[in-house]
Structure 1
């Protein structure tokens, strides 16, 4: 038990260190490429943190035969948007509220609403198509739908690139070159890559520790697979966004989560539509519906006064709590 708890602590520390390296590196990269805050957060940061966990469903479907690989793959694909919408977004709002109560920052969430609305609109459209429009009986139409989602993400990237947004400011220093105000690109990329590797190692160490502890205390594996593991795999986005919010860089924080939602609703989903049965029912469908409703709530509240923005972001936690209750209730009813 002590060793497993130690793994939890080590995993968290690695993710925290990696997140600090990553946010610092990605800010420097965005400034060097002369792209906007919105593009840096919604595309560069979002894709960087989403790529490692995207490998999970691909590996599961390829290397696990039968229903096991299908279940793990589909669960991982659906778990990411759900956790981002109902846990990562609320953590941003809660961090703002805590910072305000501690008099560390303003209650106003100064995220660029144009980029947020664009991200959420793309997410709601793509994820709704994936959950409700894909005809299970026609494989050719499913392939066309998958290609459509891939094209949709390319369109989203171009829209984000040319959209209006503030320019990135220069970071105080790059951790890998603290005395060089203009570090070469290969050093910037090296820091970003190292931070991503540390994130993957830290998240997997954390998952392994949580899994071991949960089994030791008698927690059902189903609860772990549906709830605990997805929380851990989305840890990088959560920690990155909290770090940025705490530093007052709200556009980067919000863009990291919202952009990851667009990525997760198009790239991994297109893989799932083609290479799995993609028969979304039961609690899996509920998680998708909750993700859509939570995101739609944030989109709606983005048109209200900014001083209420943080409260709107925080409301999504209710969907997460409700889903936990449904999973626990379903698990108990089977015994």
Structure 2
């Protein structure tokens, strides 16, 4: 038990350190490639930090199919968008509110590029609604076509994000792997990003392993672990990256990191789950999806009202996480 706790803590430390190195590298890469802020945050950073929670269900479904693998895999696939909408978004909102009201270090308005943010949320709402409510899970051929449609939808989103209007990336003060060079070689930048991702995934694996053994020690069911515990661990990179960016005043990167990950998680991993599992979404799994959609829709709605209300719109999603946690514990305990 002591070793599992140490593994848990060490994994968390690895995630925190690698997240700082990763955000630094992604900013430098976006600037070096002359990419927009939206594309850097919503695609580069989002896909990179989404790797841990994407790998988890694939491993569970393919290598633990004889046991609870499919159950854990589907739970992890659905748990990722749920955690992003009801935990990562609220964390951004609370960070802004704390920075404004308590620390007095920033304004209340969340200075994001609303066009990109709304595009992310609309794609997420559409893709995830298709996955939850329209997929004909009893017809294998139609399921395959649905999965292909969702994957193509993501590439359409990437294309629109790349072509969309957005501010250019600002130059990074220094690259950690080349601090004395104001114009580091792109290979050094890529190396830093890759190394950070490897450490991040390793840390997430250690973190999940520690939580899994601790949760099993206390008798947590597989579905409860896959829907609540594992996604909290694997979503840490997005949460930590976004908090770092919020405190540095890079709001578009912070929000895009999460909203872009939501689009990715509602298309690529979901398409994988539709094809390789039964994808019969009911009970708590369905509720998690509905809560994620409602939370995202509320954030989208308030973005049309005023920028000062966006932090509150993001924070509201936390209510659904608390309600869901209560329902889950009530059912399993």
Q: What is the TM-score when the length of structure 1 is the normalising length?
A: 0.96
Counterpart-to-counterpart distance in 2, 1:84 and 1:112: 19
1:235 aligns with 2:215: no
Counterpart-to-counterpart distance in 2, 1:20 and 1:242: 10
Alignment match, 1:171: 172
Counterpart-to-counterpart distance in 1, 2:210 and 2:58: 23
Retained in 1: the 8 A contact 2:21–2:193? yes
Alignment match, 2:73: 73
Q: CA deviation at 1:224?
A: 2.9
Retained in 1: the 8 A contact 2:51–2:201? no
How many residues are matched? 331
Retained in 1: the 8 A contact 2:79–2:226? no
Alignment match, 2:311: 310
Q: CA deviation at 1:11?
A: 1.6
Retained in 1: the 8 A contact 2:52–2:204? no
Q: What is the TM-score when the length of structure 2 is the normalising length?
A: 0.96
Alignment match, 1:18: 18
Retained in 1: the 8 A contact 2:212–2:225? yes
Counterpart-to-counterpart distance in 1, 2:140 and 2:60: 21
1:195-220 CA-to-partner distances (Å, cap 9, x unmatched) read: 1111111112222222333344x252
Alignment match, 2:124: 123
1:7 aligns with 2:7: yes
Q: CA deviation at 1:221?
A: 3.5
1:10-59 CA-to-partner distances (Å, cap 9, x unmatched) read: 22211111011000000000001101000000000001111232122122
Q: Structure 2: 5+ residue runs without aligned partners?
A: none
Q: CA deviation at 1:115?
A: 0.3
Counterpart-to-counterpart distance in 2, 1:108 and 1:44: 25
Alignment match, 1:208: 209
1:35–1:258 distance in 2 versus 1, CA, 3 Å? same
Alignment match, 1:320: 321
Q: What does 1:123-202 correspond to in 2, within 5 Å?
A: 123-202=124-203
Alignment match, 1:82: 82
